[in-house]
């Protein structure tokens, strides 16, 4: 198939300001792009294209002495199994878990399994994500009717190779890794049966060996691989049962950690090439502004500076190293326009969102029952509250760094981004090249949290343009200040909640919220109420909003779970017991909530000045309940003393890594709730570094986080993001219990100073 995807389709959100790209919705593109291709090309053409693409993928990863299967794995003559993961490593540890899932079904010896990054080629577009998201978009019936060949061409048409949405384990692992492992194992058994002249039913596999117990004969996987590769792989192989697992569910040490500890791991910011130049950039301080003028002379006078490059909305200084480039940039005094956004400020956005909700014309509504009729019923006690949360920055440990080299008509890139295929597409567009003339080499990343998706990463455009003007490889590095002031933030959001109570139970609830992203279909409402409504009011500022770890579940979780505590207080009931009354009896939600209450000692006495808060949120197919114990320090700032998390993600593939992800998510949520906020004044971001965008310090983090998993056996959910949403409402609820002051606006430190 030609490496030329169909254009992305915009979600029906508020129009973006001039010069600002609209947010893209890849899940919607899954159905639309694929449908068009099937109708236009016919099923036979699609099948042939899919088959030829798989052959291309196998050729790229296979070679002398090793056989490739499903463009996903190889088996070498020495029995080494190499998994080529379509997911990028930015500290989440999912590649090790994917290796466990593949190796378990394959019955491969774990010490002979290696994990590598899949090439950024259309042959490695991740069809597993289409299979995972398609039922949500088109329904399970439609999704089940589409053959794998159609699914594959849909993935390539977008193109789709993302790392995000907590999709690695629940989609790639379950759909691709386990099935491929099982299918290849079956092919190895069939090959061994023919060679040994015995029925396949008499053969067993373990530690990369096929054994015939009756005769005592055995064959290694490396001996069988070539023959097995000639066989057709089943698209629906028999998978192991939970009782048969040997690697899934085991706390296997992560494969990526040693290189990160000994310093041999290479990040985008570390990457070097011979004769490479280094550049840094300053963009218009106001998003949407343009470069009016700049005098290049002061920068060119700095030793080591070789070139000043002017872009439409930025200026770049190229030098022999980062520090001369940075010094040269600091010597410049570029003049930018404000793009007509000088009146944009944090208070102005909140005011506009309040006005929008007061108008009552939502762009989307979900729920059941007539909430207005219930609110007006006799004997109903109505409770109302308003909440607000700020823009949040991703605060990646590694700022952006991307290397580009344009030579002989080809643009080659090196760096860490969350979708290698879309990176190629965006770079090709910016450079005016065909996608086939762009090569991207994915690298590990020092954090991402949604910031490194190509559709919201301007550094790709900057490097694509820069590389064509510099006759050397050039690495563009964003300073911390540039990275903070030109982020793609979690949306600033406002919410109005209203509920009615009768006989100690909620009879109706409505949540109105105004922001750029719509949470419907993403954040389930878990409580069983007679009437419920959630209305979204689309609002867009001059900022480029983007996904932040757990996306909209942080805002919706904070609103819902804080308000549940307010309703419990209005009903005169304990917050835990009140939630319990509104959850389906015998449900997974109730089991998770009960367990976190038990483990945290809910209801037991706490010292004076200490409060205990609880919250439960479902996101990415995983249910997480958290309890936080907190107090106030002498300066009035919060201090978390203890924290508990109970998780039902269906199956925990690697408990060691899953615990780290949940604990890390909980702490990230606490950090954002305590002190993080991006604010705007005269259209520009005020914060510029960790000095005024405070990340939670180790001394203020809970000494330990107790994490417990419930192995329910339900459909596998995500693990990297669901730990974040419950922590901010749990903290706010704990502080209410400790101080009697309800936190409705974040961050908490801003309320303490008010």
Peptide linkage before 747 cis (omega within 30 of 0): yes
Say if residue 343 is exposed, middle or buried (CB neighbours under 10 Å; 0-12, 13-18, 19+).
exposed
CATH topology for the 277-339+400-477 domain:
Aldehyde Oxidoreductase; domain 4 (3.30.365)
pLDDT bucket at 145, cuts 50 / 70 / 90? confident
Say if residue 236 is exposed, middle or buried (CB neighbours under 10 Å; 0-12, 13-18, 19+).
exposed
Percent of the residues in the chain that have a pLDDT greater than 70, as a whole number: 93
How much is the pLDDT for 39?
Answer: 47
Read off the pLDDT of each residue in 339-347 and give the average, rounded to a whole number: 97
Asked if the model's pLDDT at residue 704 lies above 70, the reply is yes
Q: Are 671 and 696 in contact (CB under 8 A)?
A: yes
Rounded CA separation 257/265 (Å)? 9
493-502, strands of its sheet edge to edge: 364-368, 532-538, 505-515, 493-502, 381-389
Q: Which value, in Å, is the radius of gyration of the alpha carbons in the chain? A: 27
Domain with CATH 3.30.365.10 in the chain: 26-247, 277-339+400-477, 346-392+489-753
How much is the pLDDT for 42?
Answer: 52
CATH of 26-247, one of 3.40.50.170, 3.40.50.300, 3.30.365.10, 3.20.20.140: 3.30.365.10
The two structure tokens encoding residue 89: 């490593």
The answer for residues whose C-beta is within 8 angstroms of residue 197's C-beta and 6 or more apart is none
The answer for residues whose C-beta is within 8 angstroms of residue 103's C-beta and 6 or more apart is 81, 110, 113, 181, 247
Neighbours of 505 (CB within 10 A): 15
Q: Are 537 and 363 in contact (CB under 8 A)?
A: yes
Rounded CA separation 255/99 (Å)? 10
Read off the pLDDT of each residue in 355-362 and give the average, rounded to a whole number: 94
Rounded CA separation 353/496 (Å)? 10
CATH number attached to the domain at 346-392+489-753: 3.30.365.10
Give the containing element (helix H, strand E) for 441: strand 438-442
The two structure tokens encoding residue 652: 């925990």
Q: Are 336 and 313 in contact (CB under 8 A)?
A: yes
pLDDT digits (tens, 9 = 90+) for 569-617: 999 999 999 999 999 999 999 999 999 999 999 999 999 999 999 999 9
Rounded CA separation 480/689 (Å)? 6
Neighbours of 671 (CB within 10 A): 22
Quote the DSSP letter at residue 652.
-
How much is the pLDDT for 13?
Answer: 32
Asked if the model's pLDDT at residue 16 lies above 50, the reply is no
The two structure tokens encoding residue 370: 């007539």
How much is the pLDDT for 48?
Answer: 57
Which among 494, 517, 548, 541 is positioned nearest to 680, based on CA atoms? 541
How much is the pLDDT for 583?
Answer: 98
Rounded CA separation 454/447 (Å)? 15
Cα→Cα distances 166→172, 187, 400, Å: 10, 31, 22
pLDDT bucket at 8, cuts 50 / 70 / 90? very low
Quote the DSSP letter at residue 200.
G
How much is the pLDDT for 753?
Answer: 61
The two structure tokens encoding residue 692: 């005024």
Read off the pLDDT of each residue in 141-155 and give the average, rounded to a whole number: 82
How much is the pLDDT for 519?
Answer: 84
Rounded CA separation 670/676 (Å)? 10
pLDDT digits (tens, 9 = 90+) for 398-446: 999 999 999 999 999 999 999 999 999 999 999 999 999 999 999 999 9
Which among 584, 434, 482, 478 is positioned nearest to 524, based on CA atoms? 584
> How high does pLDDT run on average in the chain?
92
């Amino acid at each position: 198939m030609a490496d030329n995807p169909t254009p992305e389709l915009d979600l029906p959100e508020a129009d973006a300001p001039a010069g600002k790209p609209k947010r893209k919705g890849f899940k919607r593109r899954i159905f639309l792009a694929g449908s068009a291709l099937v109708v236009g090309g016919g099923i036979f053409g699609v099948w042939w294209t899919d088959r030829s693409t798989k052959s291309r993928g196998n050729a790229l990863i296979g070679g002398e002495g090793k056989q490739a299967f499903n463009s996903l794995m190889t088996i070498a003559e020495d029995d080494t199994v190499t998994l080529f993961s379509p997911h990028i490593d930015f500290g989440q540890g999912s590649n090790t878990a994917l290796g466990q899932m593949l190796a378990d079904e394959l019955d491969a010896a774990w010490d002979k399994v290696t994990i590598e990054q899949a090439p950024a080629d259309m042959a490695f577009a991740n069809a597993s994500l289409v299979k995972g998201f398609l039922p949500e978009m088109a329904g399970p019936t439609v999704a089940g009717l589409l053959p794998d060949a159609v699914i594959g061409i849909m993935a390539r048409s977008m193109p789709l190779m993302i790392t995000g949405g907590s999709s690695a384990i629940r989609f790639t692992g379950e759909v691709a890794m386990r099935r491929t492992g099982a299918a290849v194992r079956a092919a190895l058994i069939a090959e061994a049966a023919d060679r040994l002249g015995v029925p396949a039913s008499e053969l067993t596999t373990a530690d990369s060996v096929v054994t015939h117990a009756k005769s005592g004969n055995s064959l290694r996987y490396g001996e069988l691989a070539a023959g097995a590769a000639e066989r057709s792989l089943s698209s629906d192989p028999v998978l192991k049962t939970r009782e048969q697992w040997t690697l899934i569910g085991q706390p296997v040490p992560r494969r990526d950690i040693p290189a990160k500890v000994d310093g041999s791991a290479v990040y985008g910011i570390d990457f070097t090439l011979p004769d490479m130049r280094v550049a840094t950039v300053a963009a218009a301080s106001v998003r949407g502004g343009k470069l009016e003028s700049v005098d290049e002379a002061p920068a060119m006078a700095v030793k080591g500076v070789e070139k000043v490059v002017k872009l439409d909305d930025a200026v770049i200084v190229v030098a022999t190293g980062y520090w001369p480039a940075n010094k040269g940039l600091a010597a410049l005094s570029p003049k930018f326009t404000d793009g007509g956004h000088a009146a944009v400020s944090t208070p102005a956005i909140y005011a506009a969102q309040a006005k929008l909700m007061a108008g009552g014309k939502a762009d989307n509504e979900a729920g059941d029952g007539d909430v207005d009729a219930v609110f007006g019923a006799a004997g109903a006690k109505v409770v109302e509250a308003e909440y607000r949360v700020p823009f949040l920055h991703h605060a990646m440990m590694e700022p952006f760094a991307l290397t580009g080299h344009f030579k002989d008509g080809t643009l080659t890139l090196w760096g860490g981004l969350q979708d290698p295929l879309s990176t190629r597409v965006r770079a090709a567009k910016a450079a005016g090249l065909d996608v086939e003339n762009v090569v991207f080499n994915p690298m590990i990343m020092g954090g991402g949290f949604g910031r490194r998706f190509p559709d919201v990463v301007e550094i790709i455009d900057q490097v694509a343009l820069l590389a064509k003007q510099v006759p050397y490889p050039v690495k563009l590095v964003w300073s911390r200040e540039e990275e903070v002031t030109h982020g793609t933030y979690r949306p600033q959001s406002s919410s109005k909640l209203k509920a009615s109570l009768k006989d100690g139970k909620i009879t109706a609830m409505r949540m109105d919220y105004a922001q750029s992203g719509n949470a419907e279909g993403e954040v389930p409402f878990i409580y069983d109420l007679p009437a419920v409504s959630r209305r979204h009011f689309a609002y867009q500022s001059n900022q480029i909003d983007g996904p932040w770890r757990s996306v909209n579940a942080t805002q919706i979780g904070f609103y819902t779970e804080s308000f549940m505590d307010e309703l419990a207080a209005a009903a005169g009931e304990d917050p835990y017991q009140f939630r319990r009354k509104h959850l389906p009896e015998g449900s997974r939600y109730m089991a998770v909530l009960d367990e976190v209450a038990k483990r945290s000692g809910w209801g037991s006495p706490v010292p004076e000045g200490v409060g205990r808060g609880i919250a439960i949120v479902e996101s990415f197919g995983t249910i997480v309940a958290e309890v936080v114990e907190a107090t106030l320090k002498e300066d009035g700032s919060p201090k978390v003393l203890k924290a508990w998390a109970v998780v039902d993600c269906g199956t925990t593939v690697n408990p060691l890594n899953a615990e780290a992800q949940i604990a890390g998510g909980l702490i990230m949520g606490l950090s954002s709730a305590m002190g993080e906020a991006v604010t705007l004044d005269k259209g520009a971001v005020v914060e510029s570094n960790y000095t005024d965008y405070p990340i939670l310090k180790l001394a203020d983090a809970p000494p330990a986080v107790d994490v417990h998993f419930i192995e329910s056996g339900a459909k596998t959910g995500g693990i990297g993001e669901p730990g974040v949403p419950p922590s901010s409402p749990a903290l706010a609820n704990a502080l209410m219990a400790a101080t009697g002051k309800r936190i409705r606006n974040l961050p908490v430190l801003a309320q303490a100073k008010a």
